[in-house]
Structure 1
Amino acid sequence: PPPDPLKRALIEKPLSVGVRSIDGILTCGKGQRIGIFAAAGVGKSTLLGMIARNAIADVNVIALIGERGREVREFLQHDLGEEGMKRSVIIVSTSDQAAQTRINAAYVGTAIAEYFRDQGKSVILMMDSVTRFARALREVGLAAGEPPARAGYTPSVFAVLPRLLERSGNSDKGSITAFYTILVAGDDLNEPVADEVRSILDGHIILSSELARQYHYPAIDVLASVSRVLPLIVDKQHLEFVGKVREVLSNYKKNELLIRIGEYKPGTDKNADFAIKYIDKVNRFLKQKVDEKAPFEETLKMLKSLFGP
C-alpha cells in the first residue's frame, strides 16, 4: 500500500539528476514523481540512461515493461552502461510476454523500490513505460469481460493507475523518486492514459519531436514541462532565473516566424529584443551530450551566468 499521507516526509530537497535542463529549469525534488511524455523515437530511453548514470541516489530500480527484445540489451549496454549497472536493479518483461507478466513486472519493480526505501535509502525508480502497463491491463480487462471505455481502455485501468503510482514518493524512512515514461501518439498529450497519469504525478517532462528533428538533445520542451515542487525546493534567485529562461523561450517562440523571414525590426518590442539576444545562450545551456556530466552546482553557476554581459 502507499505510505500514509500524514506520515509522508515533505519534498524539501532538490535531487540532482545530472541533466542540465532538468536540474536547472525543471528541478526535481527527492521523493517526487515525474512523467516523461514522448512519442516513439524521441530519446526517452537515452534520457533515462543519463539519469540512471548521473543521478545522486543509492539505488536505481528500472522496470522495462513491454519493451522490444532488441532494445533491452541495447539499453543496458549503451544507455545505462557499466556505470549505471553498478547500482541498478533491472526488471524486464518484453512485449511478446503475456499481459499478466507485463503487469507483474510493474508491481515487482515498485515492490523492490519500496524494499530499499524501507531500509532508509534514496531510490530512483524508472518505469518504461506506463502506457504499455495500461495496455496490458486493458488486455486482461477485456478478456475478463469488462466493457471498453475511453479509447478502448477498460474502467479498471483508471482505477489501478493511481494505486500503482501513489506507492512511490517519500515515506518516514526513505525516498523513492520516480520517473515514469508515457508514450503519446503524435505528441497528443490529451489521450486518456497520458491525461490520467499527468493528473496523478507531481510534474511532467515533455519531449518534443520538433526539437528532436532539430537535433536538440535532450529534446525537452521546457515551456510545456513543469515541476510542481520547484518553488518549494529552490531559492528565490534560482526561481528568478528559471522565469527569465522561460520568458526568453516564450518571447522568441511568439516572434519566431517574423524573425525567420526577416520581418522583425529590432526595437519594436523590448521583450523580443531580449529574447533574440539570449536565445542562443539559452539553447546551448539546454543542450547536452549523452556522455556529458553536469554536476548540480556547475549547472546553477551556468544558469546564473546566462544573462550576464
Structure 2
Amino acid sequence: RVALMLDSLTRFCRAMREIGLAAGEPPTRRGFPPSVFGMLPGLLERAGMGERGSITAFYTVLVEGDGTGDPIAEESRGILDGHVILSRAIAARSHFPAIDVLQSRSRVMDAVVSGTHRKAASIFRELLSRYAETEFLINVGEYKPGGDPLTDRAVASIDELREFLRQSEDDASDFEETVAWMSRLTA
C-alpha cells in the first residue's frame, strides 16, 4: 500500500508545457501543448489497485478564480475518481475545512459506503443544494416559508448542516459517530 501525494499537478503540467513548447509543440488549450493532456491520463491512472498492492494518490490542482475553464482542473476532474474542491468564499466565512460539498464528488462512494450512509449523504447534499438555491432570496428578505417543505427544512437546518461540516485542527472525528450524526441530521 502506497500513498502518493503530488503538490501540485498544476506546477507539473506547467513544467511539461515549457518542455513541450521548447520542443516545438503548438500551444492549444490555454497555452498548453497537446502532450500535456496526453500525459495526464498515464500519470493519474497509475494510482489504484494492482496485482501487488494499491496506490492511493492525492493531487493538488491550483486554479485561478473559480477554476471555470481551467484546462488542467477540467482534465483532472474527467480522469480522477473523486475530487475535493476548496472554496475561497467558504474560507472567507471562517468555515474550515473550506470544502465545497456541492462541487466535490466521489465516483466510488456508492461502492464503499453503507446504504444508510449513502442515503444520509444524498439528503444532506440535497438540503445544502436547496439552501444554496434559496440563499439570495433569504438575504434580500424575499424568502417566504411554506412554499416548499424541502426548502423550508433546508433553511431551518442550515446552521446544523454547516456545524457538521466544520472541524478544527484539534478535533478528532470517529467515522461511525460522524455517519450517525449525519443520519440524525437528515432523518
Against the structure 1 CA distance between its residues 195 and 225, is the aligned structure 2 distance closer, same or farther, given a 3 Å change threshold?
Answer: same
1:222 aligns with 2:85: no
Against the structure 1 CA distance between its residues 192 and 307, is the aligned structure 2 distance closer, same or farther, given a 3 Å change threshold?
Answer: closer
Q: Deviations over 1:64-122 (max 9, x none)?
A: xxxxxxxxxxxxxxxxxxxxxxxxxxxxxxxxxxxxxxxxxxxxxxxxxxxxxxxxxx3
Corresponding residue of 2:12: 133
SS at match of 1:183: coil
Distance in 1 (alpha carbons) for counterparts of 2:22 and 2:181? 54
Q: CA deviation at 1:241?
A: 0.4
SS at match of 1:305: helix
Q: CA deviation at 1:132?
A: 0.2
Corresponding residue of 1:259: 138
Corresponding residue of 2:169: 290
Select the structure that is richer in strand: 1
Map of 1:82-93 to 2, 5 A cutoff? none
AA matched with 2:9: V
SS at match of 1:187: coil
Corresponding residue of 2:40: 161
Corresponding residue of 1:206: 85
Larger deviation: 162-171 or 290-299?
Answer: 290-299
1:245 aligns with 2:147: no
Distance in 1 (alpha carbons) for counterparts of 2:37 and 2:138? 45
Q: Of the candidates 67, 73, 86, which is equivalent to residue 188 of structure 1?
A: 67
The alignment yields a C-alpha RMSD, in angstroms, of: 1.4
Q: CA deviation at 1:247?
A: 1.3
For the 8 Å contact 1:208–1:221, the answer to whether it is kept is yes
Corresponding residue of 1:177: 56
For the 8 Å contact 1:251–1:275, the answer to whether it is kept is yes
For the 8 Å contact 2:124–2:186, the answer to whether it is kept is no
For the 8 Å contact 1:278–1:307, the answer to whether it is kept is no
Corresponding residue of 1:106: none
AA matched with 1:256: E
TM-score by length of 2: 0.94
Q: CA deviation at 1:126?
A: 1.4
Against the structure 1 CA distance between its residues 307 and 147, is the aligned structure 2 distance closer, same or farther, given a 3 Å change threshold?
Answer: closer
Distance in 1 (alpha carbons) for counterparts of 2:148 and 2:183? 24
Distance in 2 (alpha carbons) for counterparts of 1:177 and 1:303? 26
Q: CA deviation at 1:236?
A: 1.3
Unpaired runs of 5+ in structure 1? 1-121
Q: CA deviation at 1:286?
A: 0.5
Query: Which one scores higher on RCO, CA 8 angstroms, separation ≥ 6?
Result: 1
Unpaired runs of 5+ in structure 2? none
Q: Deviations over 1:129-161 (max 9, x none)?
A: 100000000111112222212111111111111
For the 8 Å contact 1:168–1:178, the answer to whether it is kept is yes
For the 8 Å contact 2:48–2:54, the answer to whether it is kept is yes
Distance in 2 (alpha carbons) for counterparts of 1:132 and 1:225? 22
